[in-house]
Structure 1
Amino acid sequence: MPEFFHDRRLYYTPIEFALKHIGGTWKMPILWRLQGEAQRFSELKKDIPHITDKMLTSQLRELETKGLVKRIVLPGTTPRVEYSLTDKGKTAIPVIETIMKYGFGLMQEEGIEWPH
Structure 2
Amino acid sequence: MTVAIVADPPPLEINADNVVIIGQTRVTLDTVVNVFKHWITAEEIVHRYPVLKLADVYATIAFYLNHQQMVESYLAERRTQSASVRKMNETRLDPKGIRDRLLTHKREQKAS
Same fold (TM over 0.5): no
Q: TM-score, normalised by structure 1?
A: 0.39
Query: Which protein has the bigger helix share?
Result: 2
State the structure with more CA Rg.
2
**How high is the TM-score relative to the length of structure 2?**
0.40
More strand by share: 1
